[in-house]
Chains A and B, each alone.
Chain A
Amino acid sequence: MDILSFLKESTGRFGPVGYEQALAKWLKEQFEPLCDEVHIDAFSNVIAVKKPTLKPAGGAAPPKIMYVAHMDEVALLVTAIEKDGSLRVRGMGGVDPKIFPAATVTVHTETGGLFGVIGAKPPHLLTEDDRKKAVKFDDLYIDLGMAADAVKAKVSIGDMVTFHGGMVELLNGRAASKTMDDRSCIAVMLDAAQRLQKLQHAAEVIFCCSTQEEVGGYGAKVGAYSVDPDIGFVLDVTFANYPGAKPDSTVPLDAPAPVCGAYIQHKLLDKLRDTAKNNNIKINMELSPGYTGTDADDVQIARDGVPTVLVGLPLSYMHTTVEVVDIETIRECGRLAAAFAADIEEGWDKDLWI
């Protein structure tokens, strides 16, 4: 699978949280050649099903494993149009206002996209105090290069604003782009789906591209309800090492990072670690004592509970327009995900609880 070109295309596609409808249609097309059945549900989740290739011995229903990665991206939305035609904005999902001075964006109006520049006070006019202050949302404004009347005719309150940040290849097999969170994990799922074309598996494997993760795991919650899996396998980006990071809060960029913690079924995690060992996949463990901040939180308590594992794809500079991932790590995550699906056999849950 050409991961780089998938990343380049997918990270550029419009899909802010709550507005994933068109992106879902495109992702459906990406999974169709690799799965038996793909549909889009009421929440715009893409649900792709690959049926078992091995029949269970006793004729029992095959175990269902659901992989989840989210398709939505953080963005901004227009909250006010000022008298001078500039736009005020707020975040859609967790966005740091500090990354925006001198950034360029697209404002998506009913009649099309408009190029905008987020202003920055010229250094010559900054006081000492100004320089020390962090930029807040109330300080930001978007310049559309048009007079107020023209702006008001085109732009409405609530219009989406997406960031500019096309993919750039860096050294050592790394790439930077906006929205690697979490389209790089959708790449993992596609990679796994491709590997499964050549593997035998007794489990029914479902790939779910979820929506609205960035505001609370909503797509995963309702998607897990509909799919009703036996096992949840969530993929989301996690924090890669950076200078000055608090100890024990980040992981190296170069290996998948499965998570241990209260929400993770510990025997299922043991099984995942065995799969990694048997396939020579290097992993670094990460700890989430409780709440993980990912779709796993919602998958785990769907219906009457779902034993769940969570694997992190390390990513640097999360929620900026220059998120960095390691392509080889994406491949290793895909390899781990596929191998784990193939390792789920009848009786997988025999000793799960006692």
Chain B
Amino acid sequence: MKELIKQLTAVYGPSGREHSVADVIESLVKDKADSVRRDALGNLICEIKGTQDKRLMFAAHMDHIGLIVTHAEKEGWLRVHNVGGINLNNSRTRRVKFANGVEGVLCEQALKENEKSALTTLYIDIGAKDEAEALSMVDIGDIAVYAEPAFDVGKNRVCSPAVDDRCACALLIKLLNNLPEKRPTIVAVFTSQEEVGLRGATVSAYSVQPDEGIALDVTIASDTPELKINAVKLGEGPAVKIKDTRSISNPGVVKRMIDAAKAAGVPYQREVLPWGGTDAGAMQLSRGGVPVGTLSIPCRYVHSACEMVDMGDMDKALKLLIEYVRV
């Protein structure tokens, strides 16, 4: 599982430009799927028949956050805007890379007295001496992403950009390779543009028409110094989401997830997130409504270049999902 996460987090795929990620994932799942297709927004939709007609949709998003180039200054600096939730704290003097391989440094300009930090004070230095050279290296509208490579931390943890949500993509791929025999029809959707508003899940749920939807995503682990956003900790098992700002998990789904955790013999946590949402928020509103839930992977430093998850939590999440799907 860890190697799969590292393989997936290395692929370039900010919101709206996920095709490379979709290509890699497709190559890993197509043998298991009865049908694989892409839709207008680049979602990768894989359907695997089951022994039941019930259609169970899993959503794990392929996209990660980035910075889109809006302007090149006369001196060759690139000005940017956020794609998804960019945290200024995580964006000063960071190594970044573009789709075509060009690398640079994301920095903040020197601020005047009383001037506040904002996205508009950031710039990317790609070593161009002027506007013309900059625009010969990248185009306006190209997207830069944090470029740290993945690395291991402690006994069982891994850190990388894009762990949100490639770790869940890895989880979903593993699930597809370990499905119990008696199960509903599984539609695994590797969604696009979650970070900019759950857009991929909105349109894919419409065409998939699921009876139930489960989002797989990271959630904030609050076990770092002075952080008190929720009661979720790294290493204490996957988190069953009760509520976030975009969805209230269906109580029946929550109960079945907890029953699955017990059946699998794995610990679980209960999660309430005061802000943030997952693809469940989009799936639930599709057509005549869909009962939804989210299984969350606890993650430290979400939306940074060093998002950290625990491999024990990942393995337990997989065991829980296998029991969840089993009829």
Contacts and interface: CB of A to CB of B under 8 A. Distances in A.
A contacts B: CB pair < 8 Å: yes
Interface of A: 17-19, 21, 41-43, 45, 77-80, 90, 92, 156-158, 212, 215, 218-219, 221-223, 225-226
A202 to B, nearest CB: 26
Interface residues of B, number: 22
B311 interface: no
A222 B288 contact: yes
Contact of B248 (A17, A80, A156, A222): A17
B288 A225 contact: yes
A211 to B, nearest CB: 9
A17 B251 CA distance: 11
Contact of A18 (B243, B271, B290): B243
Contacts of B289: 41-43, 45, 218-219, 222-223, 225-226
A185 B287 CA distance: 25
Given A17-B248, A158-B243, A158-B270, A79 B231 contact: yes
Given A18-B243, A77-B272, A92-B243, A157 B284 contact: no
B36 to A, nearest CB: 27
Of B230, B269, B289, B290, chain A has the most CB atoms within 10 Å of the CB of: B289
Interface in B118-145: none
Interface string B248-280: 111100100000000000000111101000000
A78 B270 CA distance: 11
27 contacts: A18-B243, A18-B248, A19-B248, A19-B251, A21-B251, A43-B289, A77-B242, A77-B243, A77-B272, A79-B274, A157-B231, A157-B269, A157-B271, A157-B272, A158-B270, A158-B272, A218-B289, A219-B289, A221-B285, A222-B285, A222-B288, A222-B289, A223-B288, A223-B289, A225-B288, A226-B287, A226-B288
A212 B248 contact: yes
B300 to A, nearest CB: 18
Contacts of A156: 270
B84 interface: no
B291 interface: yes
Given A79-B230, A212-B248, A90 B274 contact: yes
Interface in B272-310: 272, 274, 284-291
A225 B287 contact: yes
A66 to B, nearest CB: 14
A37 B250 CA distance: 26
Contacts of B290: 42
Given A79-B231, A215-B248, A157 B288 contact: no
A215 B249 CA distance: 13
A157 B248 contact: no
A219 B289 CA distance: 8
B272 A79 contact: yes
Contacts of A215: 248
A223 B287 CA distance: 9
B76 to A, nearest CB: 43
A68 to B, nearest CB: 14
Contacts of B251: 18-19, 21
A218 B272 contact: no
A19 B250 CA distance: 8
Nearest to B212: A42
Pairs of residues from A and B, 4 with the lowest C-beta to C-beta distance, nearest first: A18-B248, A222-B289, A158-B242, A43-B289
Contact of A80 (B231, B243, B288): B231
Contacts of A41: 288-289
A226 B286 CA distance: 10
Of B242, B250, B271, chain A has the most CB atoms within 10 Å of the CB of: B242
B285 A42 contact: no
Contacts of A226: 287-289
A157 B285 contact: no
A48 B284 CA distance: 22
Contacts of A90: 272, 274
Given A45-B289, A158-B272, 5 more contacts: A18-B248, A77-B272, A157-B242, A223-B288, A225-B287
A79 B289 CA distance: 27
Contacts of B248: 17-19, 92, 212, 215
Of A78, A79, A225, chain B has the most CB atoms within 10 Å of the CB of: A79
Of A41, A42, A45, A223, chain B has the most CB atoms within 10 Å of the CB of: A42
A98 to B, nearest CB: 18
Contacts of B230: 79
Contact of A218 (B249, B269, B274, B285): B285
Contact of A42 (B249, B272, B291): B291
A78 B286 CA distance: 29
A212 B284 CA distance: 11
Interface string B91-104: 00000000000000
Contacts of A92: 243, 248
A214 to B, nearest CB: 10
Nearest to B241: A158
A80 B285 CA distance: 29
Of B251, B286, B288, chain A has the most CB atoms within 10 Å of the CB of: B288
